[in-house]
Amino acid sequence: MRAADVQSEITEVLVTEEQILAKLEEVAAQVAVDYAGKELLLVGVLKGAVMVMADFSRALPGEVTMDWMAVSSYGTGTRSSGVVQIRKDLDTDLHDKHVLIVEDIIDSGLTLSWLLTNFASRGAASVEVFALLRKPDAAKVHVDCRYVGFEIPNEFVVGYGLDYAEKYRNLRDVAILAPHVYS
């Protein structure tokens, strides 16, 4: 785990930590207005959304509750399979809750569209999505995403929670992973 190794494994920083934190403040201010007077339940999608959830939830004024769901659609590769499995379900009953799903990235959109369908049957008062990153070129299915942090090009990215084979999640910025790492 040498810094020099990591340097050679990323080609370009796309979004810096500073830009991310500024964006989270901006989105949090909007969410605070949109959910004024409502009880908000944040649902983080493990594991990629851990960093977004940590910083976004603390940027929100007032009280929120938090829950987590773990799904997998990727294995250890870099392409969505479209086959989604629940690895850990929510602990919370969604009935009458205002739910905001917190996601790291929308790539094909397959994972989120599956999640939204899954949540629709659980009786929530509302379900919306905040994704820190979205790859517009990659969308295979349309996902109604109310809040988006950054539109990024169709490259495999790591950092700020995003991994390749469980590595790079602790990088502070979001960066493009060098193709030689996974090809």
Positions that interact with ligand XMP (CB under 6 A): 45, 48, 73-74, 80, 103-111, 156-158, 162-164
27/112 with CB nearer Mg ion = 112
38/87 with CB nearer Mg ion = 87
Q: 113 is in the binding site of which of ligand XMP, Mg ion, none (Cβ under 5 to 8 A by kind)?
A: none
Q: Are 145 and 134 in contact (CB under 8 A)?
A: yes
Q: 108 is in the binding site of which of ligand XMP, Mg ion, none (Cβ under 5 to 8 A by kind)?
A: ligand XMP
Catalytic residue list contains 34: no
Helix, strand, coil shares of the chain, percent, nearest 5, are 30, 30, 40
**E-strand spans in the chain?**
10-15, 40-46, 64-72, 85-88, 98-106, 126-134, 147-151, 157-158, 174-177
Q: Could you say whether residue 48 binds Mg ion (CB under 5 A)?
A: yes
Q: Are 110 and 73 in contact (CB under 8 A)?
A: yes
The CA distance from 64 to 46, in Å, is 18
The one catalytic residue in 55, 89, 93, 107 is: 107
Task: Give the nearest distance from C-beta 130 to ligand XMP in angstroms.
Answer: 12
Residues near Mg ion (CB under 5 A) are 48, 104
Q: List the catalytic residues.
A: 107
